Structures are given as C-alpha cells and as structure tokens.
Structure 1
Amino acid sequence: MVRRIAMLLSATLVLATGCGVDDDEVVNLKEGENLSDTPYCGSLGCADPFRYCAELFLEFGRSPPLCVVENICDRLECANTNRRCAVFDGFPGQVKCIDN
C-alpha cells in the first residue's frame, strides 16, 4: 500500500512539473542572439560567480538550467508584446514574461 501511494505521488509530481509553458510566459531570443556561450548549471549552481542558474520559458517548454548573466532579458523578447521579461530567484531561477 505504501509503495502504491509513493508511486502515485511521484506520478503526480512529474505531471505537475512537466507541464508546458503558458503562451503568455514565453521568451524568445532577439534576432542575432544565441545561447551557444551559455553553460549548463551543475548540481551546485554555476562555477562563474557572476552567473546564476535559471530556466528559460521557451515556446517548446522550459530550457535545462543554464548559467545566465543578470541582464539576460536584454537578449530576450516576449512572444506576447504586451508583456515584459523578468527574472525570478530560486534554484534554478526562472526567466519568463510577466504583465507590464
């Protein structure tokens, strides 16, 4: 019985966290920008003290945790032009669009 409850809770957690990104939260790279120079986060965060670990809310889903710079929103634009890019703290943090 305990095993069955644990499996149910695990499945619920996967479904709840595996959802896609809301269309209003989507960020896109500005033309000419790329993330090829952006390293992935390690289990302890980023090796570079001037970067922090965050997921980008892209149209196909959340990115893997990346080591981004504080001004990452300068390289991004919102898919919905009535919104603005914002960075949320946490581990990993979140980079997504919010109401103006």
Structure 2
Amino acid sequence: MSWPIRGFLAAALVVLTSCGVSESEIVQLKEGQTLGVPGRQLNYCTTLGCQFQDEACLEVFFEYGRSPALCLTLDVCERLQCAKQGNECAIFDGFPGQVKCMEPR
C-alpha cells in the first residue's frame, strides 16, 4: 500500500474515532469497580473478536471519549453507572458493540 493511501486511511480512522460522546451517553465506573473480571486480564479486541466465549468486543462511552474496543463480559453494565441521573446503561449490537447510557423506555 502506498504512503499517500496509508496517510489517507490513518486520517480517516482518526476522524471516525474522534466522534465525541454526548452528555446523556456517558458511563462511569461505580466506586470500587473495574471494567474487567477479577483474575482475568483486560484485553483489546482483535479482528477475530475475543479470546473467551463469555466476552464481547465493546467500546465504552466515557466522559473523555470512547474507549478502544475491549473484550468485556456482557454484565459490564452492572459495574457502570450513568453520569446523567435517570438514564440506563445499555449495550448496542455491532462490531465493536457500544456500551453507553440512554433514556429509559
């Protein structure tokens, strides 16, 4: 791949991943909690997904922006809280999926 094409692809990646997080989507870790499961190392996703079957490839919407795609268990919302009171943590499908807050139905 030529250098101009690599440069264009790198710039496009920066633009796509720099999208901000709206105030209503922000999640925060509950006090004393971590994103990962105790006893298991927190890993980044690969193009093949995650190492363990009980994990999914997810981006987390923090106040400072989206996390890199991480391998997280689907109970991650139990360890998170929404910055905007009254909103609920939800996991949105995709690859990678998205963990963010939304208004309750």
Q: Answer whether TM exceeds 0.5 for this pair.
A: yes
Aligned residues: 94
Shift of residue 38, structure 1, vs aligned partner:
2.3
In the other structure, the counterpart of 1:19 is 19
**Would you say the 8 A contact 2:58–2:69 is kept in 1?**
yes
Q: Give the Cα–Cα distance (whole angstroms) in 2 for the partners of residues 92 and 28 of structure 1.
A: 19
What is the percent sequence identity of the aligned residues? 49
Cα 1:14–1:39 change in 2 (3 A) is closer
Shift of residue 66, structure 1, vs aligned partner:
0.6
SS in 1 for 2:15: helix
Runs of 5+ consecutive residues of structure 1 not aligned to the other structure: none
Cα 1:65–1:16 change in 2 (3 A) is closer
Matches within 5 A, 1:36-55: 37-55=41-59
The two structures have a TM-score, normalised by structure 2, of: 0.78
Q: Which amino acid aligns with 1:71?
A: D
RMSD of Structure 2 on Structure 1 (CA)? 2.0
Runs of 5+ consecutive residues of structure 2 not aligned to the other structure: none
Q: Give the Cα–Cα distance (whole angstroms) in 2 for the partners of residues 88 and 21 of structure 1.
A: 15
Shift of residue 48, structure 1, vs aligned partner:
0.5
